[in-house]
A and B are shown apart, each in its own frame.
Chain A
Amino acid sequence: MSTQATKDQSQARSHFDRGVQLGFILLLLGLWYAVTAFGYVSKLLLPSPQSVVQELSGLLTKSDFWFDVWITLTSIIQAYGLAVVAGVVLGSLIGQSKFAYDVFQPIFAGAFAIPLIIIYPMILYLAGIGPLSKILFGAIYGFLPVALAAMSAFANVPAKWRRYAATLTTNQWLVTRRVLIPAAIPELLSGLRISYVVTFASVIAGEMIAAFAGLGRVISYNAEVLEPARMYAAIMVVIAFAALVNSLMSRLQPRSERA
Chain B
Amino acid sequence: MTYPQKVWACRLLVCAALIGALEAGAHMIGAASDLLPPPSVVVADLPALLADPKVELAIFTLIKQLLIAFACSILFGALLGYGVAAWQRIERITLPIVLLVYSIPQITVLPVFVLCFGLGSGSKIAFGISHGIFPIALGVISGIQKSRANPIYLRWADSLGASRSQKLTAILLPQAVGSVCTGVRLSMATTLLGVLLADLYVSDNGVGYFIKFYTDTQQGPRLFGLVVILAMAAVIINSAVGRFERYAGRWML
Contacts and interface: CB of A to CB of B under 8 A. Distances in A.
Q: Do chains A and B touch in the complex (CB under 8 A)?
A: yes
Contact of A220 (B106, B111, B218): B111
B214 to A, nearest CB: 8
Interface residues of A, number: 52
A124 to B, nearest CB: 7
Contacts of A107: 11, 14-15
Contact of A201 (B7, B105, B114, B234): B105
Interface string A107-126: 10111111101111110111
Contact of A118 (B104, B105, B230): B230
A106 B105 contact: no
B67 interface: no
A205 B111 CA distance: 11
B35 interface: yes
A103 B15 CA distance: 10
Nearest to B12: A103
A45 interface: yes
A99 interface: yes
Interface in B187-245: 189, 192-193, 196-197, 200-201, 211-212, 215-216, 218, 223, 226-227, 230-231, 234-235, 237-239
B64 interface: no
Contacts of A44: 115
Interface residues of B, number: 46
Interface in A217-259: 219-220, 222-223, 228, 231-232, 235, 238-239, 242-243, 246
B106 A201 contact: yes
B161 interface: no
A208 B14 contact: no
A209 B239 contact: no
B21 interface: no
Given A115-B193, A126-B35, A235-B109, A21 B11 contact: no
Nearest to B11: A103
B105 A197 contact: yes
A40 to B, nearest CB: 14
Nearest to A122: B215
Nearest to B9: A103
A188 B184 CA distance: 24
B189 A115 contact: yes
A115 B109 contact: no
Interface in B94-139: 96-97, 103-112, 114-116
Given A114-B234, A115-B193, A219-B111, A125 B215 contact: yes
A208 B110 contact: yes
A117 B196 contact: yes
B29 to A, nearest CB: 11
Nearest to A102: B7
Given A17-B92, A115-B234, A122-B35, A242 B103 contact: yes
B10 interface: yes
A204 interface: yes
B93 interface: yes
Contact of B108 (A20, A104, A204): A204
Contact of B105 (A13, A113, A121, A200): A200
A54 B242 CA distance: 48
B239 A110 contact: yes
A24 interface: yes
B43 to A, nearest CB: 18
Contacts of A219: 108, 111
20 contacts: A14-B92, A17-B92, A24-B97, A102-B7, A103-B14, A104-B14, A107-B15, A110-B235, A110-B239, A112-B189, A113-B237, A115-B192, A117-B200, A118-B200, A122-B223, A204-B107, A204-B108, A208-B110, A239-B105, A243-B104
Given A102-B7, A125-B218, 15 more contacts: A45-B116, A99-B10, A103-B14, A106-B11, A107-B11, A114-B235, A117-B197, A118-B227, A122-B223, A122-B227, A125-B35, A201-B105, A219-B108, A222-B111, A242-B103
Which A-B residue pairs are the 5 nearest by beta carbons? A223-B111, A113-B238, A121-B215, A115-B193, A110-B235
Interface of B: 6-7, 10-11, 14-15, 35, 92-93, 96-97, 103-112, 114-116, 189, 192-193, 196-197, 200-201, 211-212, 215-216, 218, 223, 226-227, 230-231, 234-235, 237-239
